[in-house]
């Protein structure tokens, strides 16, 4: 029988790509999403890609009773992948309580219900944001956690602590915390991808919207950093490679292969790319010329950060494989598809 996995936030950007990879690897998936930042038709699109329709429950993780009902309706869930969260850094500064409530209470509900329903495995979506500006690059999992730059970042730090404390208390729970670097791109089918609401705050959706003419010009936030070309450096990881990391992490927990009850992995490529390098890679990959200008620094930006993914490479047997050009082409194809469908 197929093993059942509950995926919260499974119609979202990273969640939907992960559901595809889970189904392709033979897992049965139950999605829980309140559709606050995604669309219901993502379920149809996952079915189109994989030939399998995941179960979908339109439920808010803040609603303990409804979530309890999902665990009861689908007995024998083996593991949870918890993506559901609010994720816009700027909005979190404006609405901190919304972020603390959504990101903390959702996780607390999940952990309590896992214990109640004897579910032992959880994979949690953490972020490189927990490192702030690291003292040493590339950053390893043992780097110190810096004071968070935003309420959003703080929720990720607290989420990690909540999981560690719960496991330490003797709960029969095993966890893997995946610290994602900068996920970008879309599924090669162009049926699922990132759907930013309003003006995109992240680089790649802003870039593709500029390339297609929705935005006039991309602003490069700063060219006076202490980096080779002066623009900030990040580790951009293809969302499908990232999705695959969840599948191997779930296998590791379910097969009892963990070295500790809570493990932490950096999920990045190990390569830093500057904003200007990314723009040029996009132009090379797609043949589309981009209208951009150098603008002032954006408040709160980290100068440079990229992953040392060696621990994930070795222990999970996972590696980011897709080139930046293929990744950016997938982001562009997704933008073209959104236009074709009249969505954005």
Residue among 125, 157, 327, 330 that touches ligand NAD (CB under 6 A): 125
Could you tell me the two tokens for 132? 């702030």
21 contributes a contact to ligand NAD by CB under 6 A? no
Among ligand WQD, ligand NAD, none, the one that 134 touches (CB under a kind-dependent 5 to 8 A) is none
| Per-position x/- string for 115-154, each x denoting binding to ligand WQD as judged by CB under 6 A, each - no binding | ------------x-x-------------------------
Could you tell me the two tokens for 37? 């930042």
In angstroms, the CA 335 to CA 344 distance is: 8
In angstroms, the CA 147 to CA 12 distance is: 28
127 contributes a contact to ligand NAD by CB under 6 A? yes
38 contributes a contact to ligand NAD by CB under 6 A? yes
Among ligand NAD, ligand WQD, none, the one that 85 touches (CB under a kind-dependent 5 to 8 A) is ligand NAD
* C-beta neighbour count of 308 within 10 angstroms: 20
DSSP codes of every residue in 9-61: TTTSHHHHHHHHHHHHTT-EEEEEE--SSS-TTHHHHHHHHHS-PPEEEE--T
In angstroms, the CA 209 to CA 35 distance is: 23
The minimum distance between CB 137 and ligand WQD, in angstroms, equals 14
Residues with a catalytic annotation lie at: 152
Residue among 66, 229, 283, 301 that touches ligand WQD (CB under 6 A): 301
Whichever of 23 and 286 has its CB closer to ligand WQD, that residue is 286
Please report where in the chains the tokens 């930013």 appear, as a residue. Answer: 196
13 contributes a contact to ligand WQD by CB under 6 A? no
Q: Which residues bind ligand NAD (CB under 6 A)?
A: 8-9, 11-15, 32-38, 60-62, 83-87, 102, 106, 125, 127, 180, 182-183
């Amino acid at each position: 029988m197929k093993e059942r996995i509950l995926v919260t936030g499974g119609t979202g950007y990273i969640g939907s790509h992960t559901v595809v990879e889970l189904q392709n690897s033979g897992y049965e998936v139950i999605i829980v999403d309140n559709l606050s930042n995604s669309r219901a038709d993502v379920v149809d699109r996952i079915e189109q890609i994989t030939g399998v329709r995941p179960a979908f429950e339109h439920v808010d993780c803040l609603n303990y009773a409804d979530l309890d009902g999902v665990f009861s309706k689908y007995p024998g869930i083996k593991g949870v992948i918890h993506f559901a969260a609010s994720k816009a850094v700027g909005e979190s500064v404006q609405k901190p309580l919304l972020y603390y409530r959504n990101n903390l209470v959702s996780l607390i509900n999940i952990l309590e219900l896992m214990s109640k329903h004897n579910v032992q495995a959880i994979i949690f979506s953490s972020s490189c944001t927990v490192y702030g500006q690291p003292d040493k690059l590339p950053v390893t999992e043992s780097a110190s956690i810096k004071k968070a730059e935003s309420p959003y970042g703080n929720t990720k730090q607290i989420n990690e602590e909540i999981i560690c404390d719960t496991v330490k208390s003797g709960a029969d729970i095993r966890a893997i915390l995946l610290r994602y670097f900068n996920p970008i791109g879309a599924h090669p089918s162009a049926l699922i991808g990132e759907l930013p609401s309003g003006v995109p705050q992240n680089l790649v959706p802003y870039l593709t919207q500029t390339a297609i003419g929705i935005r006039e010009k991309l602003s490069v936030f700063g060219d006076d950093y202490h980096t080779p070309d002066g623009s900030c450096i990040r580790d951009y990881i293809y969302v499908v490679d990232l999705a695959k990391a969840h599948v191997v992490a779930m296998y590791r927990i379910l097969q009892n292969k963990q070295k500790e009850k809570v493990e932490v992995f950096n999920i990045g490529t190990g390569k830093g790319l500057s904003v200007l390098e990314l723009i040029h890679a996009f132009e090379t990959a797609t043949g589309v010329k981009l209208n951009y200008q150098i603008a002032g620094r954006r408040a709160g930006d980290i100068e440079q950060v990229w992953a040392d993914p060696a621990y994930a490479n070795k222990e999970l047997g996972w590696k980011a494989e897709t080139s930046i050009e293929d990744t950016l082409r997938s982001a562009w194809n997704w933008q073209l598809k959104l236009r074709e469908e009249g969505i954005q």
